[in-house]
Amino acid sequence: MAVCPVYTTQSLNSTCSISTPSKTHFSSHHNHLVFYRTSKRTSKRGGSSSCVITCSAGDSQTVVIGLAADSGCGKSTFMRRLTSVFGGAAEPPKGGNPDSNTLISDMTTVICLDDYHSLDRTGRKEKGVTALDPRANDFDLMYEQVKALKSGIAVDKPIYNHVTGLLDPPELIKPPKILVIEGLHPMFDERVRDLLDFSIYLDISNEVKFAWKIQRDMAERGHSLESIKASIEARKPDFDAFIDPQKQYADAVIEVLPTQLIPDDNEGKVLRVRLIMKEGVEHFSPVYLFDEGSTISWIPCGRKLTCSYPGIKFSYGPDTYFGHEVSVLEMDGQFDRLDELIYVESHLSNLSTKFYGEVTQQMLKHADFPGSNNGTGLFQTIVGLKIRDLYEQITAIKTAAPLQATKA
Ligand SMILES: Nc1ncnc2c1ncn2[C@@H]1O[C@H](COP(=O)(O)OP(=O)(O)OP(=O)(O)O)[C@@H](O)[C@H]1O
Ligand SMILES: O=C(CO)[C@H](O)[C@H](O)COP(=O)(O)O
């Protein structure tokens, strides 16, 4: 067994123990732990001893949320809706690396898992692997750092610089109330998966992904149609092998498909969106339409909801998904007038809103975000409210536990 470097842990507001060898080791550094990789690139910084550490920081209450999706599938948009539910805007760490991928608000810290790429752009090219390939990512470090943050311990997280394609010096991440880990692989590694209090997968069908990519990469980034097609094709085998299978583990999946309201639609503008919610998840009770557990089909268009062609259709009912019992809420079509969304909201139950009309208010507040007129925006907002509710339930339990212990 490697000899573990014994650094003082007195300055830490936590209890740490060191055990068997692994790929990382640590030192206490002011009031946070520094995890060093033992790869050639960084071993000079801290020797090559390797240890597993177990720490607890007493009363920490970091709730960890995982959001998985392929690149360009709406993760950033979802994150903006989620942080807005908690109030306050999310911003990159002040005074830090301008190319940081991290977003911090009062309640939430969103870290991008691209920061755990172990191979930079040149390294991937040399080895002939994509960023989706697990061999291009450091899951040991991801696990150690998410675990530390969940235990209330700050970490020095690496930064993958999307501008240069290089790995930049690390940035300090302090444990937030809610930590969101978003990216390609939040549910890939079993150890990381087990740290998640709630997980979401954005499942964008190939047709829709293509339409969104064209819109962004052609219009905003000047890429050619051919290069966009080639990039999607090149990623597909690894996407199918390593990213897509994660949806079986998700507590909620937002599936985005072409509409069924327009026969043979190939424009990809009108969307059919399904919110697949796992039953039996702690602190999460699925939303329902009219009557929980029934199978419902509802066309709300008429006197109370303005709809132009091709209209709007909602469906709701129980189903199974990868062998799990789920409830599925579906919306096909798009809203003409967002202020009329209140009519739909009033027919949905278990929304975890704090007041009547909160979903509509959130949607109106971000009417300019992509997907605000369809099920993507609606369901992202609903999932955001459910995460707030989950966070409140978890923290209420943790706060109550020491009180009960004192009483006993
Ligand atoms: N709900 C939506 N409806 C329509 N278009 C959308 C929607 N969500 C995202 N898009 C389109 O996809 C693009 C990418 O969205 P976003 O930046 O949120 O994705 P991302 O997963 O964070 O991407 P990346 O990982 O590449 O940074 C947006 O510019 C927009 O054109
Ligand atoms: O899938 C991705 C992130 O979601 C990127 O392709 C990956 O991070 C590599 O980034 P870059 O293209 O900037 O080198």
pLDDT tens for each residue of 337-349: 999 999 999 999 9
Question: Does 281 lie in the same domain as 185?
Answer: no
Name the 3-class secondary structure at 64: strand
ipTM value, please give it: 0.95
Ligand nearest to the backbone CA of 211:
1
Amino acid at 103: L
User: Rounded CA gap, 330 and 326, in Å?
Assistant: 13
Q: Pick from 133, 168, 202: which residue ends a domain?
A: 202
Question: Does 255 lie in the same domain as 197?
Answer: no
The DSSP bridge pattern shows strands 32-37 and 24-29 to be antiparallel
Question: Does 85 lie in the same domain as 166?
Answer: yes
Which of the four pLDDT bands, split at 50, 70 and 90, describes residue 24?
Answer: very low
Our answer on whether the CB atom of 175 is closer than 6 Å to any ligand 1 atom is: no
Our answer on whether the CB atom of 72 is closer than 6 Å to any ligand 1 atom is: yes
Our answer on whether the CB atom of 102 is closer than 6 Å to any ligand 1 atom is: no
Which of the four pLDDT bands, split at 50, 70 and 90, describes residue 35?
Answer: very low
The per-residue pLDDT for 283 is 96
Q: Is the pLDDT of residue 29 over 70?
A: no
Name the 3-class secondary structure at 359: helix
Tens-digit pLDDT profile for residues 350-390: 999 999 999 999 999 999 999 999 999 999 999 999 999 99
Q: Pick from 145, 180, 202: which residue ends a domain?
A: 202
Q: At 183, which CATH number?
A: 3.40.50.300
| Arithmetic mean of pLDDT, 237-263 | 97
The per-residue pLDDT for 210 is 85
Question: Does 283 lie in the same domain as 166?
Answer: no
Which of the four pLDDT bands, split at 50, 70 and 90, describes residue 88?
Answer: confident
User: Rounded CA gap, 38 and 25, in Å?
Assistant: 8
Beta carbons of 6 and 13 less than 8 angstroms apart: no
Question: Does 283 lie in the same domain as 194?
Answer: no
The per-residue pLDDT for 186 is 98
Percentage above 70 pLDDT, the chain: 83
Question: Does 196 lie in the same domain as 259?
Answer: no
Cα 393 to ligand 2 centroid, rounded to whole Å? 35
Minimum-distance ligand 2 atom for the alpha carbon of 124 = 14
Question: Does 381 lie in the same domain as 270?
Answer: yes
E strands, 143-226, where? 155-160, 167-173, 178-183, 198-204
Q: Is the pLDDT of residue 75 over 60?
A: yes
Whether 403 is in a domain gets the answer no
Whether 213 is in a domain gets the answer no
From 118, 124, 162, the mutation candidate for ligand 2 (largest count of ligand atoms within 8 A of CB) is 162
The per-residue pLDDT for 207 is 87
Our answer on whether the CB atom of 215 is closer than 6 Å to any ligand 1 atom is: yes
Q: Is the pLDDT of residue 66 over 60?
A: yes
From 67, 71, 76, the mutation candidate for ligand 1 (largest count of ligand atoms within 8 A of CB) is 76
Q: Is the pLDDT of residue 18 over 80?
A: no
The per-residue pLDDT for 30 is 40
More confident site: 321 or 222: 321
Whether 407 is in a domain gets the answer no
Residue bearing the CA closest to ligand 1, atom 28: 216
| Arithmetic mean of pLDDT, 319-338 | 97
When the pLDDT of each residue in the chain is averaged and rounded to a whole number, the result is 86
Minimum-distance ligand 2 atom for the alpha carbon of 72 = 4
**Those residues with Cβ within 8 angstroms of residue 109's Cβ, 6 or more apart along the chain or in another chain:** 102, 103, 173, 174, 176, 178, 179, 180
**Those residues with Cβ within 8 angstroms of residue 309's Cβ, 6 or more apart along the chain or in another chain:** none
- Please count the structural domains in the chain: 2
Q: Is the pLDDT of residue 135 over 70?
A: yes
Q: Show the domain range for 340.
A: 251-395
The per-residue pLDDT for 404 is 61
Q: Is the pLDDT of residue 271 over 70?
A: yes
The per-residue pLDDT for 12 is 39
